[in-house]
Amino acid sequence: MSLRLLALPAILLLAGAATAQEAQSPAPLAAQGCLGCHGQSGHGAGGIPGIAGREARELQAQMMAFRANERPATIMGRIARGYTEAEIAALAQHFAQIPAR
């Protein structure tokens, strides 16, 4: 048996573990959508504010206000409506844990 065939089960096992971890916490996958505007790790880019290191309650409240069209925005209202309340809570926790610059 070749070394490549022996390594395949280990690779598949690790891939399965990553998938199971993502299923428990939707934030890392959902957070990828934030980085295009909010910059690497959510630290801000150009005129877009950073969201890393902010209070989770603040981020969650802002997202919910965007989602309900209670906070003016150019695009965030449409983006926020694409997330469930659980995903918004997970995103808020995720970015709150990243140290601000």
Encode pLDDT of 48-83 as tens digits.
999 999 999 999 999 999 999 999 999 999 999 999
Region 3-24 average pLDDT: 44
Q: Which contiguous run of DSSP H or E holds residue 15?
A: helix 3-24
pTM across the whole model: 0.73
Q: What residues does each domain of the chain span?
A: 26-96
The pLDDT mean for the chain works out to 82
Higher pLDDT, 76 or 4: 76
Bin 66: left if φ > 0, else alpha if -120 < ψ < 50, else beta.
alpha
For residue 89, how many other CB atoms are within 10 A of its CB? 19
Among 17-26, 62-71, 83-92, where is mean pLDDT lowest? 17-26
**Residue of 55, 50, 84 whose CA lies nearest to 67:** 84
pLDDT confidence bin for 28, thresholds 50/70/90: confident
**Residue of 86, 42, 85 whose CA lies nearest to 65:** 85
pLDDT confidence bin for 92, thresholds 50/70/90: very high
- With b for 16 or more beta-carbon neighbours within 10 A and e for fewer, the 4-17 pattern comes to eeeeeeeeeeeeee
- Pick among 1.10.760.10, 1.10.287.130, 3.30.10.20, 3.90.550.10: CATH of 26-96: 1.10.760.10
